[in-house]
Chain A
């Protein structure tokens, strides 16, 4: 295999596996920047994967090749509605954020598989979708010598969109006043409140946006990797996204970069076989790499002080 082909395979598989993680990790930053800890990303992904798959299967014949893209939005809406549970519990009813997130993770697979059985005559998994997100070759960029072949041929369009959204999120948080307000709510809600910022509103916004992106993440997973929905469609990707968000220091660009790196780690067992040096390395190392690296990074590089200061605390007005 030539170097160009190897690199092309490495990049395209990395992008395919990173895309769901990028969206979900970005979702995580919204929730946690507004001060709501979100261990429920896994659950949000599951609901997004479910909603998008059912929509895809139902409307593929009418919508044709645009179906997977519309399905992403439907998955996002499912995730958003589902995340309302987390928002109501943590923001309005002052529930412990981790308990509430755990409820999402318990509820999502139960509810999604329940509904799958209701819709598909008792079967625990949906049929395979016909309209999936296939490979994409960029029209002009792919003509660039070498780089065009490596980066822009037969690759994952949705991953490029995810990266662009990562930049947009960074711009939102650090260059717009709404983003600044959201961050201030996560750092010091009392001060934010004093300045007339509606703390409750921003926290709701943060959690709902995280549900929206988590839903997209799940939908991307189902539309481009598993191609159906079952209890095992999302198996740990939500937690890996959480890890990416932490690894990326609660910064959208950091989270995007970390998610890309974890995507690489996930794709290595698949492409390792083609790469001479890697073919002797046991795949278990690639599997545990994202999680082990997260722990090591947390221990060595990050103290406690990196998370938003009021992350995980309930805001009680007047206290």
Chain B
């Protein structure tokens, strides 16, 4: 009974608390004021219309990459390809917008988002096909595909989109921008954009998909027991490929929305976009529950946006928030440690559970 309740809300909550404590200890060691910094973090992320707008905008891609990771994970696959799928989605959306800029705004936006999502989906599906037909580990292929797409996109941006000597594509036409004047007006000129509502709608769709559709059920069945699913008539190969396709579609959509709503162009980059990895962190904290993902994304987004103001108001390096995020996932990962504590009777009653985690 105890273990069951632990798997619900207690593990994420204790992990979050423990993560913040690790951050606080580190700040104390190096002579920074944790209380002041956490206060700045809260104000910087949720302390005004502008910062709330930024935090909500930053949630969009976290939610979508997390959902993508979750879909693959439900089918039993570890899709580390989020960063690459996000990147190709971003790239696809920008290319579409630049090439078809004469289309009416609504068609242009829908086309660009679809193009980005499809690009992400197809890229991810490669790993699914290889897994289904050759048994190739999706962990390895998605990692390799990440780096392949990083260099391909860099090459494509530099030689096809950017003007000579430049490292970025031109900006998209303003009618394709998801960050409309109206939204800028009501959110104090933040980058909050319509993509946020798309992301929330997708959360609902994914929830519906998992709970109310045959295909969603099949994905979870394959994740739980591949051979039993095969035996009961589910096409395992098809399910694997669909799971990876949807997973990539979602991450690609995340990249497409960020491309249209936030960046408005695409540049050459040395590194893969971090959001793909952070999306994984969000999904892991939420235990792959679509509704939980919204709250986990809010937390990590607030940490990231608030983290920017940490280094503005003090000389504390803003990387402290990434340390907190990594620590939280570390604690989520070692949930067995909490189970040991329960067995040894460290937690007596739910209220004291938090104190136990603090030790």
Residue A193 lies at the interface, judged by CB distance under 8 Å to chain B: no
Check if B333 sits within 8 Å of A96, measured CB to CB.
yes
Q: Shortest Cβ distance from B265 into chain A, in angstroms?
A: 20
Q: How many Å lie between the Cα of A91 and that of B145 in the bound state?
A: 29
Given A39-B143, A95-B334, A100-B333, CB of A110 within 8 Å of CB of B136: no
Residue A243 lies at the interface, judged by CB distance under 8 Å to chain B: yes
* B: interface residue count bin: 35 or more
Residue B151 lies at the interface, judged by CB distance under 8 Å to chain A: yes
Question: Which residues of B sit under 8 angstroms from A122, Cβ to Cβ?
Answer: 315, 317
Check if B317 sits within 8 Å of A291, measured CB to CB.
no
A85 (CB) vs chain B CBs: closest residue: B330
Sample 30 A-B pairs with CB under 8 A, ordered by A number: A39-B143, A89-B333, A95-B334, A95-B336, A98-B78, A98-B139, A103-B330, A103-B333, A106-B322, A110-B319, A114-B317, A114-B323, A122-B317, A231-B271, A232-B270, A236-B150, A236-B272, A239-B147, A242-B143, A243-B143, A246-B140, A292-B144, A292-B148, A294-B140, A295-B140, A295-B141, A298-B140, A299-B134, A299-B136, A304-B135
Q: Shortest Cβ distance from B137 into chain A, in angstroms?
A: 7
Residue B201 lies at the interface, judged by CB distance under 8 Å to chain A: no
Question: Which residues of A sit under 8 angstroms from B148, Cβ to Cβ?
Answer: 288, 291-292
Q: How many Å lie between the Cα of A88 and that of B333 in the bound state?
A: 11
Contact of A106 among B150, B152, B326 (CB under 8 A): B326
Check if B336 sits within 8 Å of A99, measured CB to CB.
no
Given A114-B320, A118-B30, A235-B271, CB of A103 within 8 Å of CB of B326: yes
Residue B117 lies at the interface, judged by CB distance under 8 Å to chain A: no
Residue B327 lies at the interface, judged by CB distance under 8 Å to chain A: yes
Q: How many Å lie between the Cα of A287 and that of B280 in the bound state?
A: 26
Annotate A91-113 by CB proximity to B: 1 below 8 A, 0 otherwise: 00111101110110111011101
Q: Shortest Cβ distance from A268 into chain B, in angstroms?
A: 13
Annotate A269-283 by CB proximity to B: 1 below 8 A, 0 otherwise: 000000000000010
Check if B334 sits within 8 Å of A93, measured CB to CB.
yes
Chain A interface, DSSP helix/strand/loop, else mixed: helix
Check if B319 sits within 8 Å of A117, measured CB to CB.
yes
Residue A284 lies at the interface, judged by CB distance under 8 Å to chain B: yes
B78 (CB) vs chain A CBs: closest residue: A98
Check if B317 sits within 8 Å of A118, measured CB to CB.
yes
Check if A39 sits within 8 Å of B139, measured CB to CB.
yes
Residue A318 lies at the interface, judged by CB distance under 8 Å to chain B: no
Residue A303 lies at the interface, judged by CB distance under 8 Å to chain B: yes
Check if B144 sits within 8 Å of A106, measured CB to CB.
no
Segment 255-314 of A: residues with Cβ below 8 Å from B: 282, 284, 287-288, 291-292, 294-295, 298-299, 303-304
Check if B151 sits within 8 Å of A110, measured CB to CB.
no
Q: Shortest Cβ distance from B77 into chain A, in angstroms?
A: 11
Q: How many Å lie between the Cα of A240 and that of B154 in the bound state?
A: 18
Check if A102 sits within 8 Å of B270, measured CB to CB.
no
Given A93-B336, A122-B315, A284-B155, CB of A298 within 8 Å of CB of B141: yes
Q: How many Å lie between the Cα of A122 and that of B317 in the bound state?
A: 7
Residue B176 lies at the interface, judged by CB distance under 8 Å to chain A: no
Check if B270 sits within 8 Å of A242, measured CB to CB.
no
B322 (CB) vs chain A CBs: closest residue: A110
A113 (CB) vs chain B CBs: closest residue: B319
A99 (CB) vs chain B CBs: closest residue: B333
Q: Shortest Cβ distance from A298 into chain B, in angstroms?
A: 5
| Most chain A beta carbons < 10 A, residue from B135, B271, B326 | B326
Residue B325 lies at the interface, judged by CB distance under 8 Å to chain A: yes
Question: Which residues of B sit under 8 angstroms from A98, Cβ to Cβ?
Answer: 78, 80, 139
Contact of A287 among B136, B151, B320 (CB under 8 A): B151
Q: How many Å lie between the Cα of A220 and that of B139 in the bound state?
A: 27
Given A93-B337, A106-B281, A118-B30, CB of A288 within 8 Å of CB of B139: no
Q: How many Å lie between the Cα of A240 and that of B335 in the bound state?
A: 30
**Interface residues contributed by chain A, number (CB under 8 Å):** 46
Q: Shortest Cβ distance from B33 into chain A, in angstroms?
A: 14
A123 (CB) vs chain B CBs: closest residue: B317
Given A114-B319, A232-B271, CB of A105 within 8 Å of CB of B277: yes
Given A110-B323, A295-B136, A303-B135, CB of A89 within 8 Å of CB of B30: no
B334 (CB) vs chain A CBs: closest residue: A93
Q: How many Å lie between the Cα of A24 and that of B53 in the bound state?
A: 43
4 extra interchain contacts, Cβ-Cβ under 8 A, other than A106-B278, A107-B327, A295-B144? Answer: A106-B325, A110-B326, A114-B319, A231-B271
Question: Which residues of A sit under 8 angstroms from B140, Cβ to Cβ?
Answer: 242-243, 246, 294-295, 298
Segment 156-170 of B: residues with Cβ below 8 Å from A: none
A105 (CB) vs chain B CBs: closest residue: B277
Q: How many Å lie between the Cα of A235 and that of B271 in the bound state?
A: 6
B144 (CB) vs chain A CBs: closest residue: A291
Contact of A111 among B130, B135, B146, B323 (CB under 8 A): B323
A282 (CB) vs chain B CBs: closest residue: B155
Given A111-B323, A118-B317, A242-B143, CB of A102 within 8 Å of CB of B136: no
Question: Which residues of A sit under 8 angstroms from B333, Cβ to Cβ?
Answer: 89, 93, 95-96, 99-100, 103
Question: Which residues of A sit under 8 angstroms from B26, Cβ to Cβ?
Answer: 114
Q: Shortest Cβ distance from B66 into chain A, in angstroms?
A: 13
Contact of B147 among A37, A94, A291 (CB under 8 A): A291
Q: How many Å lie between the Cα of A105 and that of B327 in the bound state?
A: 12
Residue B284 lies at the interface, judged by CB distance under 8 Å to chain A: yes
Residue B329 lies at the interface, judged by CB distance under 8 Å to chain A: yes
